[in-house]
A and B are shown apart, each in its own frame.
Chain A
């Protein structure tokens, strides 16, 4: 049974690849969506509201099926989409919707004096966001965003439904050839658990450092 561990770990890089790329893309998209929600650009704002509502309001699994099986039938040029790519797109859009809301809350939580001081020295809105507001909002949002990252790692297991052999997919294959279902799935569960605990440890260290920031 323990012989499964190295097999599963062999797929850890793919799992982490999908989660890491998804996280980076979701962070960028989430920040852009959040800035738009604060700026409330006409028309675009309505579109962003619908986007966020849709991706928070439907299951990730449904979204993944939509991208992988649904879109190619609608748009033939999407038929070259691999399962890994579809997973990354799905994770990005799904989690960016959640992140947009926490980043927006963090932006709006930045003290009014920070906005006014930036305006008073003559910064443009973009300069103000980039130099003053977003860095401060990032500190506030970091713990929540880290939780989304952990959530995202676990969500990569859904990729196996798109035929991707990642940690979950590999376990599934091993289980059905060996018939050791309980043993296989308990092992993969333990691998995820250890992985998440390790990240939670990093997260707690990070938070202590974030709390110490700006006080030197």
Chain B
């Protein structure tokens, strides 16, 4: 289970996350939607301390971290319980597709190389990239890079997978293959927290949709409720805009 308690983040005087409370059950798929600049990315980045939250508590499984007093070990603990898929892929440029997947298994998790490589090859099969195993990121299309990015996250067997607009940087022709892969990740009962502008995909994959605005959770519920029967005027206005 994932618990966020009064998570708060300020950039200078700008309060970007305004006391976020959120509980996610194991295996649950939660999609966050909302206008630009609302703090969606910041929320994801605070959960694994890519951005350091100012206040609040982050709980993942048996680890509970008070943001204001987080130690290095606790931050590593959060990072090792989560996996992050970046909007811009952020593959290790000096590593091949296979090495991108094995790197953390060997360096961070201390698994034997042979085991890590076997795992990577399985994942490359599943992501349809077996023939690209020895390619460097620079030689891959955007869609292929993002599939490696998701594969790298899958390999970690994280308690929570975080996706920050994984298809936003892609040419339209590659969006479909990445969403397909995410559907397959979802089938494994992987707990997922996804920020996306793909409303159709959100409706289809989400157990719960959260609408964020101004650093707060404005409204949440099952996709049908949010997309067809939103209560808050801000949610309604946002959904009208994205439908156009």
Closest A-chain residue to B92, C-beta based? Answer: A132
Cα A216 to Cα B96 in complex, Å, equals: 9
A135 on the B face (CB < 8 A): yes
Interface of B is mostly: loop
Kindly report which residue of chain B lies nearest to residue A127, judged by CB atoms: B107
Distance in angstroms between the alpha carbons of A182 and B237 in the assembled complex: 87
Judge if A123 is at the interface, Cβ distance under 8 Å. yes
Q: A122-B79, A214-B136 are in contact. Are A113 and B90 (CB under 8 A)?
A: yes
Of chain A, the residue at the smallest CB distance from B76 is A122
State in angstroms the CA–CA spacing of A139 and B88 once bound together.
Answer: 22
| A197 part of interface (Cβ distance < 8 Å) | no
Convert B79-95 into 0s and 1s, putting 1 for each residue whose CB lies closer than 8 angstroms to a CB of A.
Answer: 11011101011111111
A121 nearest in chain B by CB position:
B104
Q: How large is the interface on B (under 10, 10 to 19, 20 to 34, 35 or more residues)?
A: 20 to 34
- The answer to the question of A151 belonging to the interface, with a C-beta cut-off of 8 Å to chain B, is no
Contact A113 to B139, CB < 8 A, known contacts A120-B48, A122-B80:
no
The bracket for how many chain A residues form the interface is 20 to 34
Q: How many angstroms from the CA of A215 to the CA of B134 in the assembled complex?
A: 10
Query: Chain A residues with Cβ under 8 A from B135's Cβ?
Result: 216
A173, CB-defined interface residue at 8 Å: no
Contact (A214, B84) CB under 8 Å given A121-B103, A122-B108, A131-B103: no
Contact A123 B107 (CB under 8 A): yes
B72 to A, closest residue via Cβ:
A124
Bitwise interface map of A from 132 to 168 toward B, beta carbon under 8 Å scored 1, else 0:
1001100100000000000000000000000000000
A-B contact pairs, 5 of them (CB 8 A): A114-B90, A120-B50, A123-B108, A135-B94, A139-B94
Q: A122-B104, A132-B92 are in contact. List 18 more A-B contacts (CB 8 A).
A: A113-B88, A117-B84, A117-B86, A117-B90, A117-B91, A117-B92, A119-B48, A119-B49, A120-B48, A120-B83, A121-B79, A121-B83, A121-B108, A122-B76, A127-B108, A132-B95, A214-B138, A215-B138
